[in-house]
Amino acid sequence: MRLRLTPTETVYYSLFATAANNLVTGAKLLTELLGADVTDRREIADRMRAAEHAADENTHAIYKQLSKSFITPFDREDIYRLAGHLDDVMDCMDAAVDLVVLYSLQDLPVALADQVEVLERMAELTAEAMPRLRSMKNLHEYWIEINRLENQGDKIYRKLLAHLFSGEYEALTVLKLKEVVDQLEAAADAFEHAANSVEQIVLKES
């Protein structure tokens, strides 16, 4: 029989929900970047950096809570791992936006929007799933759909690479754009890692 959790122990659920909501913010900023004028990108990058700092603070709050909690709602290692994967997503999205601005990239590949659309959907699903950690119910469809979206993202990524190396772009531009595309692909991978961590947690607790 599961013990009744104290408010101190249940704080993890709200922290994970906050982490996921931060990712929704980050994904929406990616979408905004794609539709923005070049002159507006710096301001969007500044907002992304602020979101990334908020995500870092939330991750540190989880780690700090772990350091002083005697009892946790599920395995400490799983809490640490899930928090890390969620933080990785935000880091990758922030890096992608930052690179677009730092490299002064002008025209971005149209297919980049397909990558970002996948990330936005993954963020929404993750934000919907995190509150359900408390009950450990109705999470199966979440990780199944995240895995499907990650596979879709892989296909988009490979098509983008083929496009970049088609000869349409100058060599230096190819290298710059590939770094952006790679960061977005890494963000999708981190979303999948987070979903896999949730699956492991649920299986352990069932």
Who wins on pLDDT, 1 or 200? Answer: 200
Q: What does the pLDDT read at residue 69?
A: 82
Q: What is the 3-state secondary structure (H, E, C) of the chain?
A: CCCCCCHHHHHHHHHHHHHHHHHHHHHHHHHHHHCCCHHHHHHHHHHHHHHHHHHHHHHHHHHHHHHHCCCCCCCHHHHHHHHHHHHHHHHHHHHHHHHHHHCCCCCCCCCHHHHHHHHHHHHHHHHHHHHHHCCCCCCHHHHHHHHHHHHHHHHHHHHHHHHHCCCCCCHHHHHHHHHHHHHHHHHHHHHHHHHHHHHHHHHHHC
Domain 7-205 has CATH 3.40.109.10: no
pLDDT band at 8 (very low <50, low <70, confident <90, very high): low
pLDDT in tens, 43-100: 999 999 999 999 999 999 999 999 988 888 989 999 999 999 999 999 999 999 999 9
pLDDT at 1 over 70: no
pLDDT of residue 205: 85
Prediction pTM value: 0.94
Q: Give the pLDDT confidence of 114-163 residue by residue, as tens digits.
A: 999 999 999 999 999 999 999 999 999 999 999 999 999 999 999 999 99
